[in-house]
Amino acid sequence: MPRRPFWIDTDTASDDAVALVIALRHPDVDVRGIGVVAGNVPLDMAVQNALYTRELIGRTDVPIHVGEAAPLRLPLETAQNVHGGDGMGDIGLPLHGRSPDGDDAVDALLQASHDHAGELTLVTLGPLTNVARAIERDPSLPERIPRTVVMGAVADHVGNVSPVAEFNMWCDPHAVDAVLASGLSLEFVGWDISRKHAVVTPDAADELRAVGSPIAEFCIDIQAVVAAYCATDTKLDGFDLPDPIATAYAIDPAIATDTRRLNLRVETDSALTRGMVVMDLLGFTGHAPNALVVTAADHDRFMAMLRSALVD
User: What does each C-alpha distance from 280 to 99, 155, 187, 189, 302 come to in angstroms?
Assistant: 44, 10, 15, 16, 27
CA end-to-end span of the chain: 23
Residues facing residue 33 across a β-bridge:
7
> How many domains does one find in the chain?
1
CATH of the domain at 260: 3.90.245.10
Residues ≥6 apart with Cβ < 8 Å to 11: 36, 37, 38, 39, 40, 41, 46, 125, 126, 127, 168
Angle between helices 14-25 and 214-221 (to 10 degrees): 150
- Residue numbers of the domain that contains 151: 4-310
* Radius of gyration (C-alpha) of the chain in whole angstroms: 18
**What is Dmax (Cα atoms) for the chain?**
53
Q: Indicate the DSSP class of residue 295.
A: E
pLDDT confidence of residue 1? 66
Per-residue pLDDT of the chain (312 residues; tens, 9 = 90+): 689 999 999 999 999 999 999 999 999 999 999 999 999 999 999 999 999 999 999 999 999 999 999 999 999 999 999 999 999 999 999 999 999 999 999 999 999 999 999 999 999 999 999 999 999 999 999 999 999 999 999 999 999 999 999 999 999 999 999 999 999 999 999 999 999 999 999 999 999 999 999 999 999 999 999 999 999 999 999 999 999 999 999 999 999 999 999 999 999 999 999 999 999 999 999 999 999 999 999 999 999 999 999 998
| Residues belonging to the chain | 312
